[in-house]
Amino acid sequence: MITLNVNGRSRDVDDAPNTPLLYVLRGTLELNGAKFGCGLGQCGACTVVIDGKPVFSCLTPISILQGRKITTLEGLGSEDAPSPLQRAFIEEQAAQCGYCIPGMIMRAHALLTANQSPTDAEIREHMNANLCRCGTHMRILAAINRAAGGMHAAGARAPAKAEEEE
Amino acid sequence: MAFSLLLIVVLGATALFFATHLSIPEDRSQRVFAPDLVRRGGELAALGYCASCHTAENGKPFAGGRPLATPFGTLFGTNITPDPKTGIGLYSQAAFARTMRDGIDRAGRDLYPVFPYNHFARLTDEDLSALYAFLMTRAAVPAQNPANHLTFPYNVRPLLAGWKLLYLDKKPVPRDQTRSAEWNRGRYLVEALSHCGACHTPRDRLGAEIASQHFDSGEAEDWWAPPLNHKFPSPVSWSEESLFNYLRSWDVGHGGAVGPMAPVVAALATVPEQDVRAIAAYVGATLAKPGESEKRVDEKQPQAAEAHPQGAELYAGICATCHETGGHVPFTVTSLGQHTSIYAPDPRNVIHVVLEGVRPPEGTVGAVMPAFADTLSDAQIADIAAYLRARFSRGGEWQNIEAEIARLRRSTSP
Amino acid sequence: MNAPLFNPSRRDVLAGALVVSFSLRAIPSLAQEQENVSKPPLPGSLKKAPMLDAWIRIDADGSVTVFTGKCEIGQGVKTALIQVAAEELELDPHAIHLVTADTARAANEGFTSGSNSMKDSASAIRNAAAQVREILIGIAAERLGVAADRLRAQSGAIIGPDNRRAAYGDLVAGNVLHVTAQPTSKLKAPDTLKIIGQSLPRIDIPGKVTGGVSYVHDLRLSGMVHARVVRPPSYDARLQSIDTSDAEKMPGVIKVVRDGSFLGILAEREFQAVTAMHALAAAAKWDIATKLPDETNISSIIESLPAEDHVIADKHAESASATRTLQAVYRRPYQMHGSIGPSCAVASFDGDALTVWSHAQGMFPLRQAIAEMLRLPEEKVRCIHMEGAGCYGHNGADDAAADAALLARALPGRPVRVQWMREQEHQWEPYGPAMVSRARASLDAGGNIVDWWYEVRSNTHSTRPPGAGQLIAARHLETPFTPGPPRPGDQPEGAGDRNAVPLYVLPNVRVVHHLVPDMPLRVSALRGLGAYHNIFAIESFMDELAAAAGADAIEFRLRHLKDKRARAVITAAAERFGWSSWQAAKGKGRGFAFARYKNLAAFCAVAVEVNIEHESGHVRLGRAIAAVDSGQAVNPNGIANQIQGGIVQSASWTLYESVHFEPRRILSQDWSTYPILRFGTMPESVDVYVIDAPGEPFLGTGEAAQGPTAAAIANAVANATGVRIRDLPLNSARVKAAIGV
């Protein structure tokens, strides 16, 4: 049994220790955010945030995650109470098929946590690890800019993490 | 009497110094070059991968600004675009030749040998003309060269004249009649232009390549550059063919170039095939082992896993996803034991790759490996490195791996 | 899952009786019209499903459900259809529940493809909703004793003078909506629209950005098991032998399924299935038969293969004499869909009937193919659409569904979830076909085009179901199914010849489509079909002709166009780009292109600016501006989203993409071997101007930008470098070779 800290809560999981976090999130914990895109660390659809940094959950076995803080899309906010970043994506209508978007949001969340006023060039470079096939990039950039601007204007710190829902 | 002799020597040396360090007048003539000469110059510039030191990250081509760390301090690759104020736009062909062969710029200043003029000194006149034609037809970029960060006495340029007296050999690359034309061509390209020895030959305390230890291994930007001769430490041997493949893109036996070698391979992909074959013939002559079939990787799996259980587990849970598929993931080799860096005297190369990942030039087919700096701690990376070392190498354990990781994290973080 | 709303066969039985009992009161003319043999056609997909309650259901509690045979594939169609229904039914859009493609519940609208959803489904739903509203008004008039013309619909009720009111739920006793639609409807006037024309935020996005169950990948059913398939190393490889005993013993493994060369593994947990799949793959021995052609020579190969010739335009008229003739050849490689989420499906077999959840683009054709493959009657197979990642035409979704169906049949009583691996999606999806076209045209002394000759050579652009032989798994069974003959696709929509006939007014035109039946690589519909390549070729050629005529690229096009709406999008894009005041600079270029998708859907003009990196040949995208006319704009922001996305997607195809292969296998198996545009190389900006055409029919938009973008980029590169490149992609190596040192 391995204990994981997911979105602020302790979760005991009985998956094999070498199971990549992605399958534990989606299977055992029934969280939909992180997605399978390639399993090779090339596309970022599986991106989650671990101790504030963006990480490919498809290549991270749960055995190394004891004592580390895992944040998934669900930890940022819910449909009834989305976080400022999630709200920015909704306001910019930054999605077509939407499959890549959770990974995008998590990577952006890590950036905005470390740097509240990134330049456009910094955002593009930071997001380079994540792929989008529908061509939603410009709206994703607009959403991240919007969220950064909103946070900056409000003098906000990193968005508060919502409690994970059962 | 002795004093007079000394005076004559000193005065003579001073006179000689000034004679060779005169400022060459500005050349503002309208230059016209034959297209074929420019084209050949472009190929030669790629063979010498000038752009990789003379272009800053995300900077304009050849406009300088790239920091090069040396034991003597950090220097910056200069602006070699034809900009008249900040580049080499006012250089006549003679001034260019003096820069390349003598390491003295147009104004008469000595240049630091991080610019490998000890190699370029041996270029033929034709090749220098072609390089000149190529550089003078690039887009001129106004970009001031940043000041070098050198401490005393290294910031005293004239002392370099003494260095050159000791080390600068301007003899043309000799022909060896017992060898093929291709080998000789390769020798010329390697010694006069591609300057492989600048990274792959050890340097002495004055920063000069040690001639008697030619190709015995060296350094580049805090990466280890392996030996290109019989001292090559990996049991996976080379052939001329595999070396050619590696230099062009990727070799199934050894994998592909990463770190500071990657831009070299990217440049060599653009030059005529026969030039790369020539280089492979020359370097292959010392590196390849004809008559010996390619050795298999020496697996010591169970002992390595016992000695480094954490490393083995981390490897199985993370790295194996791509690196234990029998080479089915593109640009992975069948076993990591095929990678030369596992057999290096120090773990720097392995640490670099794990921390930074591998990214191909944009839009091109090439290896994509994620960076693990954020996923793994120093201790975890050290465990993996120790495990891999134990699993494949007979060269003994690496020392201070964790400290090296911490140091490289600091020096490579943006 | 709920029981089916109605059984299709019952529906047919009731039809006659209901029409008789209600038509005389509610719709007096309907009875007469039923007898009328030659009726005017019903709008959109009402032709296929003419009963109003196939589209709209109102329950006694007033809840409203709208049914569509189309599916959400990321283009925002769910929201647009809800808007259309809400408008005519005078409801808050959020009060409407939309059911998408489901063979048990919704009409058979074929595929969601060809940008036809608005034309087919939205038209049907809008008209059905309007007619339902009028029926309810009619019933309310009876009940309230008020003349119908003094009643109106509002917020889910019919209201009249003196606060008289009847809620929708109270008006719908029995099967009052089970009537045949009429050819015309009392649609709301353009100036009264409150919902159509609004950029209503998409109803699916909030769930997607907060982790809701949105995709078939998220479906979790009780007792569900996880499966992986082991695919052969190449198309025709046969499984020689396999020792499955090791894999069977691995943790969590329930069963290995083998049928001929079809090989799958079922496990309790997903990673257990992945691990066992690798073990199974390592144990398999294959006879490798496939010999793929030489990638470097593919267009010559395509030009040498036998072809069926279809003349699709042949027009001759008097014209001035030709003074100059130009000709050119344009080439496009195989390109892939590259869905970001590899295909997935869930299937459940109870021993008698099979249910399949899939993100394929056509549930009815899929049902037929799966039923045929399993030798089940079609009524025993139900296909329900759940979203996947963008599928862009025909990706692995149908095949993943077939895999799931086969594996579910091997484990009755437990739902089976199949997830494809990245390599499987890359190597087994059907690609957009490689194409070659040749163009020849002449100009008169005044610089006008007097004759135009164009021929395009291509495989079929659809190998979708129906037909079990279209499914990969079915071809690998012990008793395999074989694919049917390739289909050309009919004009005016076309397939390989889509947009092969230019919209320009030209006196002499001859266009020939050579359909090449032989398919060395698996191919099918990729967004835009032949339009991407044909518009790239035609609009590149137009620029070449403009240059020969010494004319400006925009003015030259306008010279040959009469269509007002076409001229309007061209002018709008040019103005917004600042075409006439643009300053040239070294290495900088601008390019323009226009097309009307399929010559009958949305009008789209694109202008782009590029910078060429001389030393590397990289094409850097600057500003991109587009103007689009989609008819009555239901959701303007939705239209803009599709055009922006189409421009970026097409930029990736045009600058980077070609499938790589060698004789024994497909080499493009992941993102390292098939790179696509990333954030680091995005354009500076992409701006879209939506021209609303109130009252005009809805025009399909989802594929309108790809072709014009390709040509605009090619034209910009030619403008920047002085060199015309006619082979896609315009990657850095090709551009550098063209511009030299």
Report d(CA B266, CA B49) in Å as an integer: 9
In this model, does residue C170 exceed pLDDT 80? yes
The predicted-structure confidence for B345-381, as pLDDT tens digits, reads as follows 999 999 999 999 999 888 999 999 999 999 999 999 9
Whether the CB of A36 is below 8 Å from some CB of chain B: the reply is no
Report d(CA C523, CA C527) in Å as an integer: 12
**What is the model's pTM?**
0.93
The shortest CB-CB distance from B363 to any of C278, C586, C731 is to C731
| CB distance C579 to C590 below 8 Å | yes
Closest residue on chain B to C616 (Cα): B61
**Predicted pLDDT at C8:** 32
Structure confidence at residue B300 as a pLDDT band (50, 70, 90): confident
Structure confidence at residue C645 as a pLDDT band (50, 70, 90): very high
In this model, does residue B295 exceed pLDDT 80? no
| Nearest CA-CA distance, residue B265 and chain C, Å | 14
Structure confidence at residue B289 as a pLDDT band (50, 70, 90): confident
In this model, does residue B294 exceed pLDDT 90? no
| CB distance B103 to B97 below 8 Å | no
The residue-averaged pLDDT of C530-558 equals 98
Whether the CB of A63 is below 8 Å from some CB of chain B: the reply is yes
Query: For tokens 């007296």, what's the residue?
Result: B165
Share of chain B above pLDDT 90, in %: 86
Structure-token pair, residue B85: 């104020």
- Pairing relationship of beta strands A2-6 and A69-71 according to DSSP bridges: parallel
Report d(CA C294, CA C632) in Å as an integer: 48
B144-153, C21-30, C555-564 — which is least confidently predicted?
Answer: C21-30
Could you tell me which of C377, C72, C340, C344 has the C-alpha nearest to residue C224?
A: C344
User: How many residues in chain B?
Assistant: 414
| Nearest CA-CA distance, residue B367 and chain C, Å | 6
The predicted-structure confidence for B210-255, as pLDDT tens digits, reads as follows 999 999 999 999 999 999 999 999 888 899 999 999 999 999 999 9
- For domain A84-154, give the fold: DNA polymerase; domain 1 (1.10.150)
H or E, element range at B69: strand B67-70
Look up residue B287 and give its amino acid: L
Chosen from A22, A42, A97 to mutate, greatest number of chain C CBs within 10 A: A97
CB atoms within 10 A of CB B263: 16
**Predicted pLDDT at B292:** 56
The shortest CB-CB distance from A90 to any of C76, C206, C421 is to C206
Chain A neighbours (≥3 Cβ pairs under 8 A) are B, C
In this model, does residue B84 exceed pLDDT 70? yes
**Predicted pLDDT at B361:** 84
The residue-averaged pLDDT of C661-684 equals 96
Report d(CA B46, CA B42) in Å as an integer: 6
Where are the domains positioned within chain A? 2-75, 84-154
Report d(CA B382, CA B126) in Å as an integer: 51
Report chain A's C-alpha Rg in angstroms. 15
Chosen from C272, C340, C648 to mutate, greatest number of chain A CBs within 10 A: C340
Helices C636-656, C530-548: inter-axial angle, 10-degree rounding: 80
Report d(CA A124, CA A144) in Å as an integer: 10
Q: Please report the residues numbered 95 through 134 in chain A whose beta carbons come closer than 8 angstroms to any beta carbon of chain C.
A: 95-102, 105, 123-125, 127-128, 130-134
> Do the Cβ atoms of B374 and A17 come within 8 Å?
no
CB atoms within 10 A of CB C485: 6
Chain B neighbours (≥3 Cβ pairs under 8 A) are A, C
- Give the C-alpha distances (Å, rounded to integers) separating B103 from B56, B111, B147, B221, B285: 22, 5, 18, 22, 30
- Structural domains for chain C: 8-208 (3.30.365.10), 216-289+338-428 (3.30.365.10), 435-461+496-739 (3.30.365.10)
In this model, does residue C5 exceed pLDDT 60? no
In this model, does residue C25 exceed pLDDT 50? no
Share of chain B above pLDDT 70, in %: 98
| CA angle, residues A63, A66, A68, in degrees to nearest 5 | 120
Q: Phi-psi region for residue C467, left (φ > 0), alpha (ψ -120 to 50) or beta?
A: left
Closest residue on chain B to A70 (Cα): B375
The distance between the two most distant Cα atoms of chain B, rounded to a whole number of Å, is 79
Where are the domains positioned within chain B? 17-167, 181-287, 301-412
**Predicted pLDDT at C737:** 97
Burial track A7-41 (b if 16+ CB lie within 10 A, e otherwise):
beeebebebbebbbbbbbbbbbbebbbbbbbbbbb
The residue-averaged pLDDT of C529-555 equals 98
Q: Please report the residues numbered 256 through 285 in chain B whose beta carbons come closer than 8 angstroms to any beta carbon of chain A.
A: none
**Predicted pLDDT at B1:** 77
CB atoms within 10 A of CB C552: 16
Share of chain C above pLDDT 90, in %: 91
Burial of C431 (0-12, 13-18, 19+ CB in 10 A): buried
Report d(CA B275, CA B282) in Å as an integer: 11
Burial of B403 (0-12, 13-18, 19+ CB in 10 A): exposed
**Predicted pLDDT at C704:** 97
Residues 6+ apart with CB under 8 A from C173: none
Give the number of C-alpha atoms closer than 13 A to the C-alpha of residue C120, restricted to the C-beta side: 21
Which contacts (CB < 8 Å, 24+ apart) does range B369-377 have? B369/A41, B369/B322, B370/A41, B370/A42, B370/A56, B370/A59, B370/A129, B372/B318, B373/B409, B374/A50, B374/A53, B374/A54, B374/A55, B375/A50, B375/A53, B375/A55, B375/A56, B375/A59, B375/A60, B375/A64, B375/B318, B376/A64, B376/B314, B376/B318
In this model, does residue C17 exceed pLDDT 50? no
Report chain C's C-alpha Rg in angstroms. 27
Burial of A143 (0-12, 13-18, 19+ CB in 10 A): buried
SS3 label, residue C509: strand
Chain centroid to CA C711: 21
**Predicted pLDDT at B261:** 97
- Give the C-alpha distances (Å, rounded to integers) separating B83 from B30, B35, B55, B79, C239: 14, 21, 14, 8, 65
**Predicted pLDDT at B413:** 72
Whether the CB of A133 is below 8 Å from some CB of chain B: the reply is no
**ipTM associated with this complex:** 0.94
Whether the CB of C645 is below 8 Å from some CB of chain A: the reply is yes
> Do the Cβ atoms of C649 and A135 come within 8 Å?
yes
Report d(CA C9, CA C695) in Å as an integer: 37
**Predicted pLDDT at B235:** 86
Report d(CA C372, CA C440) in Å as an integer: 46
Whether the CB of B313 is below 8 Å from some CB of chain A: the reply is yes
- For domain B301-412, give the fold: Cytochrome Bc1 Complex; Chain D, domain 2 (1.10.760)
User: How many residues in chain C?
Assistant: 741
Report d(CA B98, CA C4) in Å as an integer: 88
Per the prediction, chain B carries an average pLDDT of: 94
Report d(CA B150, CA C428) in Å as an integer: 58
- Kindly report the backbone phi and psi dihedral angles of residue B89, in degrees, each rounded to the nearest multiple of 5, phi listed first: -60, -25
H or E, element range at C508: strand C508-515
Report d(CA C157, CA B381) in Å as an integer: 68
**Predicted pLDDT at C27:** 39
Report d(CA C287, CA A155) in Å as an integer: 65
In this model, does residue C520 exceed pLDDT 70? yes
Query: For tokens 């835009």, what's the residue?
Result: C528
Give the number of C-alpha atoms closer than 13 A to the C-alpha of residue B314, restricted to the C-beta side: 23
Cis preceding-peptide flag for B309 (omega within 30 of 0): no
Structure-token pair, residue C445: 């002394």
The predicted-structure confidence for C549-592, as pLDDT tens digits, reads as follows 999 999 999 999 999 999 999 999 999 999 999 999 999 999 99
Q: Do domains B17-167 and B301-412 have the same CATH topology?
A: yes
In this model, does residue C20 exceed pLDDT 70? no
| Nearest CA-CA distance, residue C616 and chain B, Å | 9
Share of chain A above pLDDT 70, in %: 90
Residues 6+ apart with CB under 8 A from C145: none
Cis preceding-peptide flag for C342 (omega within 30 of 0): no
Report d(CA A32, CA A79) in Å as an integer: 13
Closest residue on chain A to B313 (Cα): A18
| CB distance B72 to B80 below 8 Å | no
H or E, element range at C511: strand C508-515
Whether the CB of A72 is below 8 Å from some CB of chain C: the reply is yes
The predicted-structure confidence for C454-507, as pLDDT tens digits, reads as follows 999 999 999 999 999 999 999 999 999 999 888 777 778 889 999 999 999 999
Whether the CB of A38 is below 8 Å from some CB of chain B: the reply is no
Which of the pair, C267 or B18, is modelled with greater confidence?
Answer: C267
Look up residue A58 and give its amino acid: C
In this model, does residue C28 exceed pLDDT 70? no
Report d(CA C703, CA C499) in Å as an integer: 12
CATH class of A2-75: alpha beta
In this model, does residue C29 exceed pLDDT 70? no
In this model, does residue C51 exceed pLDDT 60? yes
In this structure, whether the domain defined by B17-167 belongs to CATH 2.30.30 is answered with: no
The shortest CB-CB distance from C675 to any of B325, B331, B363 is to B363
